A and B are shown apart, each in its own frame.
Chain A
């Protein structure tokens, strides 16, 4: 059954997702580009045997990337639930709304 909903509700959904996305991208940029920009001063700090800039490039940034992607997946599900999105229904619609071939 198709029902008209308030546009402001749909906009709120979109805004909420984007706010989180911007936060993820800020963290993403700090752990990768930020650490590279300040690699020289950070190399005097040691972490688990590594100079810190090397640790971030080889392990730290990757770990943060993975965490951000899983946080995004879980938070995305929560936001969907909050706005009453039903994944089963999405799957049914996903099967039919593909471009006709």
Chain B
């Protein structure tokens, strides 16, 4: 056991002890506490909890590496994963809060007065959240595997046990306050190395202001090597792929059930719009820093690592080469490591850079703890979404309406354990890189819930037949495009699997509108309820009149 292992382990255990303490302290007692934290979380803390829920292994571990590899084209992730908060906060969150539902499928079931719609929506929630959680568990496997220097598969299994225990016992309330703590841990863990690297390279402690010149220098280095410049647009994909990916990530943000569920935990529509604003501010701290992280990492690799003798490479190279995620091959046979002989996997950039830049054992340990917080907090929110889709929407609403609180809690907990185990099994041999798996979850949300919720809230003429057609067509088109693009090499305008949501959304909007118009309009009562969502809590719309509750 070396000092690095002991330090990393101590930091991870200390943060875990904090999360578990908070979860146990808040152990949920009643059903409303379990799912929506009793609806009284203040916007600023709710914003942090949304931030922790949001910033997953893909954001923390994968994003900076993706930007480093893709250059400008990787910024679609930065704009997509932040710009979606405007769609969510303006178009959906306050209205869904006013509807008073507990979950997204429940809103759909009530709005369209259809149990079929409720069941399809619950199944879509489970598909989206399940896909997403596979990425998180495989992320936690990478971190735990590196820490113990064991196989990532074993690391994933340890992650599965941890997450199942605290999600099942804490419920949403435990998770809300746990997530506030996790947000703080992960943001500190992300900012510290970027600030240190900025000081080391530019002498300026503010990376956001200093990395512009580094981006320019990277372009010069690339020119000398005869490569395309780091910041040159559309080198790794078409402009249409950039736009499609950005749209998919934005609309997916507005359609992710576990993120929307956060907006049910606020007290009013006003609190919903403030929660959205705070959430993006907290999230953006990481998103502003990711391109800086990418630029500094690439600069260090190009100037300090490339060009050194193969025989005197530092110790960090060996540890990472052993994981199979870093390759150094002296193909030119000159005994010197050239930039193009260094192959580094996207997913290790954030984890490996503190070692490469020699930031010290404490910072390296802190980054491991932050990465664990990111993976586990998001997995927690996802499992609650899966659990409520099954225990609340399917079990309680459809199968056993007379179930007691105790029975529903029990079914909810069993669902969490079963879903975690299944996601863990798939994560043992993940079907793609972390960011790719997560992008599929966004594409499915864009093709299903985004059109369904936008039309459900803003178009009173949308009916159950239209909704069901839209959900099924959107799901089918999105999944077919993902598979055709990934395995069949089929693309339109160069749009690959990660941008599939744009086609799903177009097909779902069209199907929903055409089928709704071809069938009977919804009842007057439903149409009134939709108009009612336009106004704040105090105003109620009924039979063509508006009543003010003073």
Q: Which residues of A contact B (CB under 8 A)?
A: 1-7, 9-10, 13-14, 21, 24-25, 28, 32-33, 36-37, 39-40, 43, 46-51, 53-55, 57-59, 61-62, 65-66, 68-70, 72-73, 76-77, 80, 84-87, 89-91, 93-95, 97-99, 101
- One of A49, A89, A95 near B550 (C-beta < 8 A): A89
Q: Does B146 contact A (CB under 8 A)?
A: no
Which of A33, A57, A70, A85 neighbours the largest number of chain B CB atoms within 10 Å of its CB?
A: A57
Report whether B72 and A57 are in contact in the complex, using a CB–CB cutoff of 8 Å.
yes
Report whether A48 and B212 are in contact in the complex, using a CB–CB cutoff of 8 Å.
yes
Report whether B291 and A58 are in contact in the complex, using a CB–CB cutoff of 8 Å.
yes
Contact with A along B271-289 (1 / 0, CB 8 A): 0011011001100100110
Alpha-carbon distance A67/B256, docked complex (angstroms): 23
Alpha-carbon distance A47/B209, docked complex (angstroms): 11
- Chain A positions within 8 Å of B549 at CB level: 1-3, 89, 93
Report whether A69 and B277 are in contact in the complex, using a CB–CB cutoff of 8 Å.
yes
Report whether A51 and B239 are in contact in the complex, using a CB–CB cutoff of 8 Å.
no
- Chain A positions within 8 Å of B212 at CB level: 47-50, 55
Alpha-carbon distance A41/B79, docked complex (angstroms): 20
Which of B86, B98, B102, B540 neighbours the largest number of chain A CB atoms within 10 Å of its CB?
A: B86
Alpha-carbon distance A59/B295, docked complex (angstroms): 14
7 closest A-B pairs by beta carbon, nearest first, are A49-B212, A57-B75, A69-B277, A98-B100, A90-B537, A39-B233, A10-B546
The chain A residue sitting closest to B536, CB to CB, is: A85
The chain A residue sitting closest to B67, CB to CB, is: A58
The chain A residue sitting closest to B544, CB to CB, is: A7
Report whether B537 and A43 are in contact in the complex, using a CB–CB cutoff of 8 Å.
no
Report whether B274 and A73 are in contact in the complex, using a CB–CB cutoff of 8 Å.
yes
Alpha-carbon distance A68/B276, docked complex (angstroms): 11
Q: Does B3 contact A (CB under 8 A)?
A: no
Q: Does B242 contact A (CB under 8 A)?
A: yes
Alpha-carbon distance A56/B535, docked complex (angstroms): 35
- Chain B positions within 8 Å of A77 at CB level: 270
Using known A-B contacts A61-B83, A73-B277, determine if residue A3 contacts B545 with beta carbons closer than 8 Å: no
Report whether A73 and B273 are in contact in the complex, using a CB–CB cutoff of 8 Å.
yes
Using known A-B contacts A24-B90, A33-B246, A65-B86, determine if residue A72 contacts B79 with beta carbons closer than 8 Å: no
- Chain B positions within 8 Å of A97 at CB level: 98, 100, 537
Report whether B86 and A86 are in contact in the complex, using a CB–CB cutoff of 8 Å.
no
Question: Does more than half of chain B's interface fall in helix, strand or loop, or is it mixed?
Answer: helix
Alpha-carbon distance A99/B269, docked complex (angstroms): 16
Report whether B541 and A10 are in contact in the complex, using a CB–CB cutoff of 8 Å.
yes
- Chain B positions within 8 Å of A5 at CB level: 539, 546-548
- Chain B positions within 8 Å of A49 at CB level: 211-216
Alpha-carbon distance A52/B113, docked complex (angstroms): 50
Alpha-carbon distance A7/B547, docked complex (angstroms): 9
- Kindly list 8 other residue pairs between chains A and B, CB separation below 8 angstroms, not including A4-B548, A28-B86, A89-B549: A7-B546, A10-B541, A25-B86, A51-B215, A65-B85, A90-B536, A93-B549, A94-B537
Report whether B102 and A24 are in contact in the complex, using a CB–CB cutoff of 8 Å.
no
Contact with A along B86-98 (1 / 0, CB 8 A): 1001100000011
The chain A residue sitting closest to B84, CB to CB, is: A65
The chain A residue sitting closest to B546, CB to CB, is: A10
The chain B residue sitting closest to A60, CB to CB, is: B79
Report whether A91 and B268 are in contact in the complex, using a CB–CB cutoff of 8 Å.
yes
- Chain B positions within 8 Å of A28 at CB level: 83, 86
Report whether B72 and A53 are in contact in the complex, using a CB–CB cutoff of 8 Å.
yes
Report whether A90 and B83 are in contact in the complex, using a CB–CB cutoff of 8 Å.
no
- Chain B positions within 8 Å of A59 at CB level: 208, 288, 291
Report whether A54 and B274 are in contact in the complex, using a CB–CB cutoff of 8 Å.
no
- Chain A positions within 8 Å of B187 at CB level: none
Report whether B233 and A58 are in contact in the complex, using a CB–CB cutoff of 8 Å.
no
- Chain B positions within 8 Å of A43 at CB level: 231-233
- Chain B positions within 8 Å of A73 at CB level: 273-274, 276-277
| A to B CB contacts below 8 Å, 20 in the list | A2-B548, A10-B539, A10-B541, A21-B90, A33-B243, A39-B234, A40-B233, A40-B234, A51-B231, A57-B72, A58-B78, A66-B281, A69-B277, A72-B90, A72-B277, A73-B273, A80-B270, A90-B537, A101-B31, A101-B32
Using known A-B contacts A3-B547, A57-B79, determine if residue A48 contacts B102 with beta carbons closer than 8 Å: no
- One of A1, A36, A70 near B277 (C-beta < 8 A): A70
The chain B residue sitting closest to A80, CB to CB, is: B536
Alpha-carbon distance A97/B267, docked complex (angstroms): 11
Report whether B85 and A62 are in contact in the complex, using a CB–CB cutoff of 8 Å.
no
Give min CB distance, A27 to chain B, whole Å.
Answer: 10
- Chain B positions within 8 Å of A3 at CB level: 547-550
Report whether B268 and A69 are in contact in the complex, using a CB–CB cutoff of 8 Å.
no
